[in-house]
A = this chain, B = another copy of it.
Amino acid sequence: MLIKERLFTPGPVPLPPQVIKALGQQIIHHRTPEFTQIFKDVRQKLQKLLKTERDVVLFSSSGTGAMEASVLNFFRKGDRVLIINGGKFGQRWKEIASQFELKVVDYEIEWGKTYDKDRIVEIVGEFPDIRGIFVQQSETSTTTYHDVKFLGEISAKLEDCILVVDGITSVGVYEVYPEELGIDVLVTGSQKALMLPPGLSVLYFSEKAEKRLSKSNIPKYYFDVAKEAKKQQKGQTAYTPAINLIIALNESLQLILSEGLENLAKRHQILAQATREAVKEIGLKLLSESPSNSATGVYAPAGIDADQLRKKLLELGFRVAGGQDHLKGKIFRIAHMGYFDFNDIIQVIAGLEIALYKMGLNVDIGKGVKKAQEIIINNI
């Protein structure tokens, strides 16, 4: 029987028709006025997305490339940094920082929890020479939201500290305005709420961060922010850009800005709430105590392997993500960032009920769907 596969994974995410159309075009050359115009448009739209007038730099890389650039360009070897490490991507901040010889204060948090404010105050009291705080605004591996505003305030109080935020699954999901939140470096990637294929990353840096560019002593070439910023101000890139992705980004940003940033955030909040409440109504437990609006992590019920459940869901048309590292087989993750509407949530919840029923669980069919419908009714 024909069953269409639907992506509910936290990257890549489904592409809007406008993006598919843009990607399906003949390529244009990048050293042309035509490309320069598009590139300038894209950078202006990114500024609108982040409510800033500062430069935003693009790299042809996955999000991890921009994460690396955040370390390479704004720090010196031996700098002490605080890593809020509550998942696979917190771990990645730690790995990159260590790799380039920063001194890491590793604040490990149990996966699925967010940081403790008092603990942060303690740590910065103990290490007043901290020169950077690294965090995921949305930790994708645990579907956890970490408040960044508080960290911005802490960072501002230190002598010379910048706040570096991985916004890979928060930009386009929340209203992420670095200047209001006290973020100094913010990175994101194309294959999340920007609704593109992977291959493009974005890096914002504050005036405070900019001052560090000339002082950094870590070797870099491809991920040289100062060099890229200079080139990109002129509508070009230092190295060959991901032309078609940039053209497509112009379309997806148009879609985002047309919806309106407040509406965009509200939609993601409703989709996330409907998913969470429906999942709980089915009797399942959420992974996160501070759930993110980009994806919802859920424990498989007792006696059911999460990866078997995912396999069943895929048979029914839904590709969801599994758990990483020690959560493998224990949890699954339903993404709802980017090109999703509430009707998509209805579908995946109905499918989840059917999958669990088919696996022998005593599911009250329709109960979770009803919950999702009610939340939608109250919010539209």
Residues of A whose CB lies within 8 Å of any CB of B are: 1-4, 6, 24, 255, 259, 263-264, 266-267, 270, 316-318, 339, 341-343, 346-347, 350-351, 353-354, 357-358, 365-367, 369-370, 373-374, 376-377, 380
Given A3-B343, A267-B1, A366-B369, is A377 in contact with B350 using a C-beta cutoff of 8 Å? no
Contact B365 A377 (CB under 8 A): yes
Q: Which residue, A2, A267, A339, has most C-beta atoms of chain B within 10 A?
A: A2
Contact A365 B370 (CB under 8 A): yes
Contact pick for A369, options B2, B3, B266, B350, CB 8 Å: B350
Residues of chain B lying within 8 A (CB to CB) of residue A24: 24
Contact B354 A365 (CB under 8 A): no
Given A365-B374, A370-B366, is A347 in contact with B343 using a C-beta cutoff of 8 Å? yes
Complex formed: what's the CA distance from A266 to B2 in Å? Answer: 10
Given A1-B259, A24-B24, A347-B347, is A354 in contact with B366 using a C-beta cutoff of 8 Å? no
Consensus secondary structure, chain A interface: helix
Complex formed: what's the CA distance from A344 to B373 in Å? Answer: 16
Kindly report which residue of chain B lies nearest to residue A267, judged by CB atoms: B1
Complex formed: what's the CA distance from A267 to B4 in Å? Answer: 13
Complex formed: what's the CA distance from A215 to B3 in Å? Answer: 48
Contact A377 B358 (CB under 8 A): yes
Q: List 27 A-B contacts (CB under 8 A).
A: A1-B266, A1-B341, A1-B380, A2-B255, A2-B267, A2-B341, A3-B343, A24-B24, A318-B343, A343-B347, A343-B351, A346-B347, A346-B350, A346-B351, A346-B369, A350-B373, A353-B373, A354-B373, A354-B376, A354-B377, A354-B380, A358-B377, A365-B377, A366-B366, A366-B367, A366-B370, A369-B370
Given A6-B343, A343-B317, is A366 in contact with B373 using a C-beta cutoff of 8 Å? yes
Kindly report which residue of chain B lies nearest to residue A21, judged by CB atoms: B24
Kindly report which residue of chain B lies nearest to residue A315, judged by CB atoms: B380
Complex formed: what's the CA distance from A365 to B316 in Å? Answer: 23
Contact B365 A263 (CB under 8 A): no
Kindly report which residue of chain B lies nearest to residue A342, judged by CB atoms: B3
Closest 5 CB pairs of A and B: A366-B370, A346-B350, A1-B267, A3-B341, A343-B347
Kindly report which residue of chain B lies nearest to residue A374, judged by CB atoms: B365
CB distance from A298 to the nearest CB of B (A): 19
Residues of chain B lying within 8 A (CB to CB) of residue A341: 1-4, 317
CB distance from A146 to the nearest CB of B (A): 26
Complex formed: what's the CA distance from A4 to B255 in Å? Answer: 12
